[in-house]
């Protein structure tokens, strides 16, 4: 399938995601046995209902955040279209390395709804930025209020979190430079892009660089809208980003409570921050294998029992990934089979 000029082998990606996920589950069964299944079946029904509700709420709030950002670019689309785009992101992100196909699928669904690709890109990029901002700012506030939590994470987890924090500072600095000194930022991006494209020996490097700079011009216009005329939409979108993050993190706590595991909610929150960072840059489709293994290792201090830890990990992944990928796949299939609307200029 070709999406926004990029060929994506949906079947191959889905096979890899399912295959690696099945391998992870098989390894859990081999090392923990049927005891893990018994723990999974012991999940209290009221917590099962809570987990389903949390997953649905997370999807709705995340889609609503994206919908507000689209409104901020001047586009008027239905919430259902925004929801379709977000769920398509979940699905395609799960079957492409480092979730690279998620944003592309999101823009593709919007373009079929008549939204210009340039504005769809700005909304997607801003949404990702707000997610990272809410992710790390929340973690830093928690650590500032409770210093001991960082030392309770263990050396490996602490090192991963510090690395993620440095990356966030770099990202935030680049974003601040783009807002304060856009002309300087565009020159730096232009020179950098040309150097990279030259290293890759791309023939149309000048054309690609010009496209990037045109997108940055549009980004400047949208930033003005996001921070002036439509400032209220930006504030609401950021608030929804924090709410979505809180729901995502509470899914882990709800699963632990449902299995009867006592824990510190804030400590689990920090672990979710690190796992989210790992998932963003995991080379495997949808962080399959990496997320399961990472969660299993990082939760060892909270769940010493290997079988119980395996049960928690699979329940956590079911409601933070597997369920969303399944529903997202169905929605994406429907969205691409609907007759596209004429594209608007912009």
pLDDT of 17 over the 90 cut: no
By residue range, what is the domain housing residue 44? Answer: 11-148+231-337
Cα–Cα distance measured from residue 33 to residue 25, given in angstroms and rounded to the nearest whole number? 11
> What sections of 154-264 are H helices per DSSP?
155-180, 182-199, 205-227, 231-258
So what's the pLDDT on residue 324? Answer: 93
Residue 344 is predicted with a pLDDT of: 56
CB-CB contact of 10 with 115 (8 Å): no
Whether residue 100 is contained in a domain is answered as: yes
Cα–chain center distance at 345:
29
Q: What are phi and psi of 295, to 5 degrees?
A: -65, -40
The predicted structure's pLDDT at residue 252: 95
**pLDDT tens for each residue of 58-88:** 999 999 999 999 888 888 889 999 999 999 9
Name the strand (E) or helix (H) holding 6. strand 6-7
pLDDT at residue 225 greater than cutoff 80: no
pLDDT at position 8 over 70: no
Establish if 114 belongs to a structural domain. yes
| 3-state secondary structure (DSSP) of residue 147 | coil
Asked if the structure places residue 31 within a domain, the reply is yes
Does 178 fall in a domain?
no
If residue 7 lies in a helix (H) or strand (E), which one and from where to where?
strand 6-7
Nearest of 53, 63, 60 to residue 251 by alpha carbon: 53
**Do 82 and 311 form a contact (C-beta atoms < 8 A)?**
no
Measured between alpha carbons, how far is 344 from 119 in angstroms, rounded to an integer?
10
Question: Is 217 a domain residue?
Answer: no
pLDDT band at 340 (very low <50, low <70, confident <90, very high): low
pLDDT digits (tens, 9 = 90+) for 187-212: 888 888 888 877 877 777 788 788 77
The domain total for the chain is: 1
Domain-located, residue 5: no
Mean pLDDT of 245-252: 92
Average pLDDT over residues 152-176: 69
pLDDT of residue 149: 63
| The pLDDT value given to residue 326 | 93
- Asked whether residue 206 is assigned to any structural domain, the reply reads no
Whether 293 is covered by a domain: the verdict is yes
């Amino acid at each position: 399938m070709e999406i926004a000029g990029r060929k994506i082998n949906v079947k191959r990606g889905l096979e890899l995601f399912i295959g690696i996920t099945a391998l992870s589950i098989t390894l859990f069964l081999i090392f923990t046995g049927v005891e893990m299944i018994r723990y999974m079946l012991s999940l209290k029904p009221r917590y099962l209902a809570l987990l389903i509700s949390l997953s649905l709420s997370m999807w709705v709030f995340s889609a609503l955040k994206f919908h507000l950002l689209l409104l901020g670019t001047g586009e008027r689309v239905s919430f259902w279209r925004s929801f379709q785009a977000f769920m398509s992101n979940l699905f395609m992100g799960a079957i492409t390395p480092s979730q690279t196909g998620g944003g592309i699928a999101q823009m593709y669904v919007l373009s079929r709804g008549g939204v210009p690709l340039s504005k769809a890109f700005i909304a997607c990029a801003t949404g990702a930025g707000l997610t990272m901002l809410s992710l790390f700012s929340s973690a830093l506030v928690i650590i500032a209020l409770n210093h001991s939590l960082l030392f309770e994470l263990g050396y490996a987890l602490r090192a991963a979190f510090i690395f993620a924090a440095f990356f966030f500072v770099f990202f935030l600095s680049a974003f601040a430079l783009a807002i304060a000194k856009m002309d300087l930022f565009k020159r730096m991006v232009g020179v950098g892009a040309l150097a990279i494209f030259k290293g890759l020996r791309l023939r149309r490097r000048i054309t690609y660089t010009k496209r990037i700079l045109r997108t940055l011009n549009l980004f400047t216009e949208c930033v003005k809208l996001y921070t002036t005329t439509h400032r209220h939409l930006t504030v609401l979108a950021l608030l929804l980003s924090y709410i979505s993050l809180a729901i995502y993190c509470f899914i882990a706590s709800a699963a632990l409570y449902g299995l009867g595991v006592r824990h510190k909610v804030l400590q689990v929150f920090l672990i979710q921050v690190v796992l989210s960072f790992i998932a963003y840059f995991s080379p495997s489709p949808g962080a399959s294998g990496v997320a399961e293994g990472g969660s299993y290792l990082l939760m060892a201090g909270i769940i010493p029992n290997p079988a119980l830890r395996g049960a928690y990990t699979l329940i956590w992944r079911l409601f933070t990934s597997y369920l969303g990928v399944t529903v997202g796949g169905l929605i994406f299939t429907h969205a691409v089979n609907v007759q596209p609307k004429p594209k608007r200029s912009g």
